Structure 1
Amino acid sequence: VEAMKRVGDSLPERLRETGEGGIAVCPSSIKLKRKYIDKLPDEEEE
């Protein structure tokens, strides 16, 4: 685990999973998060 942390820290931010871009902010990911993690109804069902 410590080795993985060092490798992750050595990567440039643009190559790391930051949760600030890419799939983390695409509409389908946001919808899945609302449904399965936040347990909220889809906007269409509200």
Structure 2
Amino acid sequence: MYETYPPSRSINFEYTFTLAFSASLKKNKENINTKQKRLKETNYA
């Protein structure tokens, strides 16, 4: 019997968490960029 299930599961969890975290960071960055663009547009309007 090899006890590989718990470690691989934790690695899987960390991997999914990292993916989700980076995805949310990217989304936040895009939101900030669109907000800045809107601010510039309203300032120059």
The alignment's TM-score, normalised by the length of structure 2, stands at 0.27
The alignment's TM-score, normalised by the length of structure 1, stands at 0.27
Q: Which has the higher contact order (CA 8 A, sep 6+)?
A: 1
Q: Which has the larger radius of gyration?
A: 2
